[in-house]
Amino acid sequence: MICAGIDAGSRTIKVVLLDPQTREVLAAGVRDQGVQQDLLAQQLLDKLLDERGLGRADIRRAVATGYGRRLVPVAEETITEITCHARGVRHRVPAAATIIDIGGQDSKLLRLGADGGVRDFVMNDRCAAGTGRFLEVLSARLAVRLGSLGDLARRSSAPAVISSMCVVFAETEIVGLLAAGAAAADIVAGVQAAIAARVAAMAGRNVTAPVVFTGGVALVPGMDAALAAALGCQVAVAPDPQLTGALGAALLAADGNEG
């Protein structure tokens, strides 16, 4: 028997299959989000099960998390992404004290207690300028792949200053920079710095190391360095950063079966 964690995020759906005894990840997958969240989640779940020669009957317990967690009835229980990310990160990085999670539609900073539980957190889900959406807008405006932004940023010699707090106005600012002849590399580096600055402002002065970076934006090269510069401390990217929520959900599913 296995346990499953399903993270129905704003941009992608993630599924992790876990051995509840050994806590070994048996399979994991990511697919783009869509209108029929339940169907997409089930399709990904069934695909991973099939790859392992398993079926739905082999799932002892499934937990869903993320924005669309209540739209995934295949899971018996729903748990907030705050709790799931904390559980997933602490499993992979036991010493973690602070978690920065930046996804497609929001950014979060979690402060963990000595026991690994969430002591408190702050969240930005009202302004896209501090989220992955900002990078998506930039990618489209520069006509480059999202995965290539990090390579561009590394070539920057003078990062542009992006002062707008709203992604709509920031896009207008980017258009103006391009018209003025600013290099794409400098604009990308400036946007990464702007996202990091918003996270640092959200965190305030209360950031305790070790700091672990999760979420889809953690896959963008250079964002960890931008955050480290803004926070004034080292920032480590979590192993498989896009999967920490689903991993945490699977671990919590396993925890719930221990009794």
Q: Read off the pLDDT of residues 219-255 as tens digits, 9 standing for 90 and up.
A: 888 899 999 999 999 999 999 999 999 999 999 999 9
- For the entire predicted model, the pTM comes to 0.89
Neighbours of 189 (CB within 10 A): 26
As a whole number, mean pLDDT of residues 75-82 equals 93
Co-location of 154 and 222 in the same domain: yes
Residue 164 domain boundaries: 96-237
Q: Where are the alpha helices (DSSP H) in the chain?
A: 37-51, 81-92, 132-142, 149-154, 167-179, 184-203, 223-231, 244-255
In the numeric block, the tokens 């989640």 are attached to 41
pLDDT band, very low/low/confident/very high, at 204 (cuts 50, 70, 90)? confident
Q: For residues 108 and 169, give the distance between their C-alpha atoms in angstroms, rounded to a whole number.
A: 22
Amino acid type, 17: L
Q: For residues 129 and 191, give the distance between their C-alpha atoms in angstroms, rounded to a whole number.
A: 9
Co-location of 116 and 228 in the same domain: yes
Residue 46 has pLDDT above 90, yes or no: yes
> Residue 105 maps to which CATH number?
3.30.420.40
Co-location of 123 and 152 in the same domain: yes
| Short-list 246, 197, 189, CA closest to 220 | 189
Co-location of 162 and 204 in the same domain: yes
In the numeric block, the tokens 């941009």 are attached to 11
- What percentage of the chain has pLDDT greater than the value 70? 94
Co-location of 7 and 43 in the same domain: yes
Co-location of 159 and 250 in the same domain: no
- What percentage of the chain has pLDDT greater than the value 90? 54
pLDDT band, very low/low/confident/very high, at 53 (cuts 50, 70, 90)? very high
Co-location of 83 and 106 in the same domain: no
Neighbours of 122 (CB within 10 A): 15
Co-location of 129 and 222 in the same domain: yes
Co-location of 117 and 226 in the same domain: yes
Domain count, the chain: 2
Co-location of 45 and 171 in the same domain: no
Q: What are the backbone angles phi and psi of residue 157, rounded to the nearest 5°?
A: -110, -20
Q: Read off the pLDDT of residues 161-180 as tens digits, 9 standing for 90 and up.
A: 887 666 667 778 888 898 89
CA 225, 229, 235, 240 dihedral sign is negative
| 242 Cα distance to chain centroid | 5
DSSP 8-state assignment for residue 104: S
Query: Three-state DSSP class for 8?
Result: strand
| Short-list 47, 83, 48, 49, CA closest to 65 | 83
Co-location of 172 and 248 in the same domain: no
Co-location of 66 and 118 in the same domain: no
As a whole number, mean pLDDT of residues 106-111 equals 90
